[in-house]
A and B are shown apart, each in its own frame.
Chain A
Amino acid sequence: KQEVTQIPAALSVPEGENLVLNCSFTDSAIYNLQWFRQDPGKGLTSLLLIQSSQREQTSGRLNASLDKSSGRSTLYIAASQPGDSATYLCAVRPYSGNTGKLIFGQGTTLQVKP
Chain B
Amino acid sequence: DVKVTQSSRYLVKRTGEKVFLECVQDMDHENMFWYRQDPGLGLRLIYFSYDVKMKEKGDIPEGYSVSREKKERFSLILESASTNQTSMYLCASSLPGVGTAHFGPGTRLTVT
Contact = CB atoms under 8 A, between A and B. Distances in A.
Interface in A34-57: 34, 36, 41-46, 49, 51
A43 B90 contact: yes
| Chain A: number of interface residues, binned into ranges | 20 to 34
A81 interface: no
Interface string B54-83: 001010000000000000000000000000
A105 interface: yes
Nearest to A53: B98
Give chain A's interface secondary structure class: strand
A102 interface: yes
Interface residues of B, number: 28
A36 B42 CA distance: 13
B11 interface: no
A100 B104 contact: no
B94 A43 contact: no
B103 A100 contact: no
B44 to A, nearest CB: 8
Given A42-B105, A43-B104, A99 B56 contact: yes
A104 B98 contact: no
A100 B102 contact: no
A59 interface: no
A102 B48 CA distance: 11
Given A42-B106, A93-B98, A100 B42 contact: no
A36 B92 CA distance: 13
B97 A98 contact: yes
B19 interface: no
A98 B97 CA distance: 6
15 contacts: A41-B88, A41-B108, A43-B104, A45-B103, A46-B100, A46-B103, A89-B42, A91-B43, A93-B101, A98-B96, A100-B50, A100-B94, A100-B96, A101-B48, A102-B92
